[in-house]
Amino acid sequence: MEHTPKEINEFTDTTLQIIWDDGHESIFLYEDLRAICPCASCRRLRKKSRTGKLPFKKKIPLGSQGMSPEKIEFIGNYAIKFVGENWCDTGFYTFDFLRENDSNLE
């Protein structure tokens, strides 16, 4: 693991903020995080869909309450998962994965 979060905050109703040990700040839309859910069944669904995105995305209400998780749980010291109606129980977002998907880091 190259980087670990120093802080994970609910930034707004629709976004999550991660401040990393090197001072970098990531802001993720919950909607985007949901769309890249790393669990096995979502990966399968994405593979099947032509766009590479989850096919059910449009059905999820995108109001402020739509995507924000009820809570965020730590998985050991290497990942987090989101708990809530729209989230997968086995969707473990490792810190490496989150860092890789930060669109501000190229």
Task: Closer to Zn ion by CB, 93 or 95: give it.
Answer: 93
The least distance separating Zn ion from the CB of residue 84, rounded to whole angstroms, comes to 12
Q: Decide whether 27 or 39 has the Cβ nearer to Zn ion.
A: 39
| Minimum distance from residue 91 beta carbon to Zn ion (Å) | 4
Give least dist CB 55 to Zn ion, A: 12
> Locate tokens 């994970």: which residue?
8
Q: At CB < 8 A and 24+ separation, what contacts does 72-81 make?
A: 72/8, 72/16, 77/4, 78/1, 80/8
Residues that bind Zn ion (CB under 5 A): 37, 39, 42, 88, 91
Query: Smallest distance from the beta carbon of 67 to Zn ion, in angstroms?
Result: 13
- Give whichever of 20 and 93 is closer to Zn ion, judged by the CB atom: 93
CA distances from 68 to 11, 21, 106 (A): 11, 25, 26
Q: Residue 55 corresponds to which tokens in the numbers above?
A: 């096919």
